[in-house]
Structures are given as C-alpha cells and as structure tokens.
Structure 1
Amino acid sequence: MPDDLLRFVSGPTPYSAWWLWLGAALLLIVIGWYVGVFVWTMPSSRLRHLRGIRSVHARMLRRRFARTVGSVGARYRSGELSASEAGAQMSRTLRSFLHQATGTPAQYMHVDDIESSELAAAAPTFSALNDAQFNTVSPVDVSEIASATEELILSWP
C-alpha cells in the first residue's frame, strides 16, 4: 500500500489537546455572544421578571438615566440650556426611567396621578421640575433639582 493510503486508513494524526479546548472556548464565546444580544434586545417588561437579570437590568437603568440627568444638569450650569429646557429634559428623562423601571406609563400621567400611584415618591420632584419648566420666575434652583432627580433615580427601588 502506498504510504498516503496507509496513513489515511490507520486513522487521523494525533493533534494537541489545545485545539479541542480552543474550539470549545470559541464555541462558548459564540453562544455567550448570542445570549448577550438576545438579552440586550429584550423589552424591559420581560427583563423585570427574569430572576437573574432583574437586578443587573435595574442597576444599568439607574446608571444610564442618572447619567443623562447629570448631563442635563451640566449643560444647564454651562449655560447651554435655559431653566425651562433643563426642567423639560429632566422631567422627560425621569418619566422615561419610571416607565422602564416599573412599567407604569409615567409619560402620560399628571403629577396628581403620580402622587396617588406607586410612583408617589417621585411626585415632589415632578412638581419642582414642572415649576422650573413652566414658571419663568420660579424659585426652584435647577442645579439642586438636577441633583435631587439624579439621587431619586439612583435610589429607586
């Protein structure tokens, strides 16, 4: 028998075990990537109910929305935004956060409705933000309300 045929018939040449481990590691990376993309693109309503992901999702939401409010406060302090604009942006951000965190449609609720709902802790902040947004002679310090809004988001249960 020719040597090539003999080598083929006698079985494969031995490979290092590192190739097996490298293939398994790459397979796990690909599976992890797909799981990550699947979880990352799930709606918040489903993520709030997944046991292992719930706390990570809540922590990420709080950080993301608090960072946005901090950015609005910084833009107000630099003079880029007026008090009215800053109040509107912070109110919109807080309402979006509350909707994402709780599922309650805070974007469509009046302050009185918020006071009588599970979002009651946010009602004083909304009152101050509305005052800053709609009252041109408002005594509300927008920098302080930005800090209060950021703290509310970071401490939300």
Structure 2
Amino acid sequence: MPGFDFASATTPPELPGEVLPLVGYSAFWLWLGIGFIALVVVYYLLVWVFTRDPSRTNEAEHDETMDVDAARAQAFARVDTIERQASSGELDDRSAYEQLSATMREFVAEATGVPADHMTLADLSRTQLQGTTRTVAQLYPGIFAPEAQRDVAAATRDARAVISGWN
C-alpha cells in the first residue's frame, strides 16, 4: 500500500499528562444494593402475611373440644328471647333481624371456626356455609330495606334451622 508507513504504526502514541491507576468501586454501593434487595424481600413477606385469607388459619386453629351442644342451647335461648321481645313490642323488627343474624353468625363461628360473625355476605358466600349464607341473605332485607319484607316468626324459624343443622 502506497503512502502507509508501517514503522510509525508500531510505535505507541504518546499520551499527554500522567496515567492514573485504576480505582475500584466503593463497598458502599454493594451493601446498598444488597440492602435494597433485602427490603424488597421483606416487603413481599409482609404483604403475604397480612393479606392471607384469615378463614384458612381460623379453620386450622379451631378448638375441636368445643361443646357444640352447649353453644346450640345458648343460641336457641337467645333466639327465644329475641322472638319473645319482638312479639311483645320490646324490640322492633329491624333490631330483631339484626340480633337474629348476629346470634346465628356467632353460633356458626363457634361451631365451625369460620369467622362468620365478622364476614360480609359476599365473604360468607365464598365459604362452604351455604345454608347460613342463604338465611343471612334472607335477613338482609329486614335489616337494610326501608320496610321489612318478612315477618320475625319466619326469620326465627330459619335461624333455628341453621342452628340445629350443626352437629
């Protein structure tokens, strides 16, 4: 190749100034990265712990030695009291429906370990408690509607049926 000087290509070019040695990264950045990853892992663990379905843990922790017959007797006594107070006028229909629902839910929670007394109707419908769900849904119009749509005697019969259905 004409005009190209091979001799000058093998000589390294001269660098202006002085050459500095290589400098490594600070350990601070390594520990900052590890700390950030640890925070993300802790965040996901906390989210998992606090958003688990509580009905699964309550079912597992349910005390098998619970006396269902005693709880049933208490629930029946409470239903009898509600019915008596509603028929004598001491309790209005809306309050009677509310108390029947609470009594039935509390009994089911004690008998099964499912926290039915703290669940919405939508939560309750996702459980295996179909009879309880149906009866609670039938009580809702009496609790929430402007005018009661059922009579208290029918509601107490339904509540007794749910309570007596648990063994």
Shorter-chain TM band: 0.5 to 0.7
Kept in 2: contact 1:63–1:154 (CA 8 A): no
Which of residues 119, 125, 145 in structure 1 aligns to 2:155?
Answer: 145
**What's the Cα RMSD here?**
1.7
| Cα distance, 1:101 vs structure 2 | 0.6
Does residue 155 in structure 1 map to residue 165 in structure 2? yes
Q: Give TM-score scaled by structure 2 length.
A: 0.59
**Match of 1:80?**
90
Q: 1:87-106 counterparts in 2 under 5 A?
A: 87-106=97-116
Q: Give TM-score scaled by structure 1 length.
A: 0.62
In the alignment of these two chains, the number of paired residues is: 107
Q: Which runs of 4+ in 1 moved over 6 A?
A: none
Kept in 1: contact 2:97–2:142 (CA 8 A): yes
Which is greater in Rg? 2
Kept in 2: contact 1:115–1:121 (CA 8 A): no
Q: 1:22-101 counterparts in 2 under 5 A?
A: 45-46=62-63, 48=64, 50=65, 57-101=67-111
Percent of aligned pairs sharing the same letter: 25
Uncovered stretches (5+) of structure 2, i.e. residues with no partner = 1-60
Question: Helix, strand or coil: the match of 1:70?
Answer: helix
Kept in 1: contact 2:93–2:148 (CA 8 A): no
| Cα distance, 1:73 vs structure 2 | 1.1
